[in-house]
Amino acid sequence: MAYCCDVIFLNEMLCVADAILRLTSVLSNIIEPDFGLLDQLLRLGVLTRRQFTEVRSERTVYGRNDALLDLLTTEEQCNKFLTALQRTEQQHIINFIKQLGGQRDNDFTTVKTW
């Protein structure tokens, strides 16, 4: 059996991409893109050089976050996004995503993606 996600909620399978999509409006207010996150996403291959430049050119942090979140369209990109968040010391954002914005209370288990 192959899993598509890093996070599986009991009684409901919810992939990281789905969780991010559900939480986009809140995430755009709390992600810190300016201190290494975009660089990490470029290194991990989530963003192309052109996308990196386009996101960075947004005038506000909120605009940068909106542009960035719009580019996260695959499960692989979203998993790499979590890696980039961890590398930029934004573990609280990862926890928020894994807890589905606080709607879940430790009822998830982490699995490896195949």
pLDDT tens digits, 82-105: 999 999 999 999 999 999 988 765
Supply the DSSP string of 12-40, one letter for each residue: B---HHHHHHHHHHHHHHH---TTTHHHH
Residue 2 lies in a domain: no
Condensed to tens digits (0 to 9), the pLDDT of residues 14-32 reads: 799 999 999 999 999 999 9
Give the residue-averaged pLDDT of 3-12.
42
Could you tell me the CATH number of the domain that includes residue 39?
1.10.533.10
Residue 12 lies in a domain: yes
Residue 70 lies in a domain: yes
Angle (nearest 5°) at CA 9 between 67 and 93? 35
Number of independent structural domains in the chain: 1
Identify the domain containing residue 104 by its residue range: 7-110
Residue 19 lies in a domain: yes
Condensed to tens digits (0 to 9), the pLDDT of residues 32-82 reads: 999 999 999 999 999 999 999 999 999 999 999 999 999 999 999 999 999
Which of 64, 76, 101 is CA-nearest to residue 4?
76
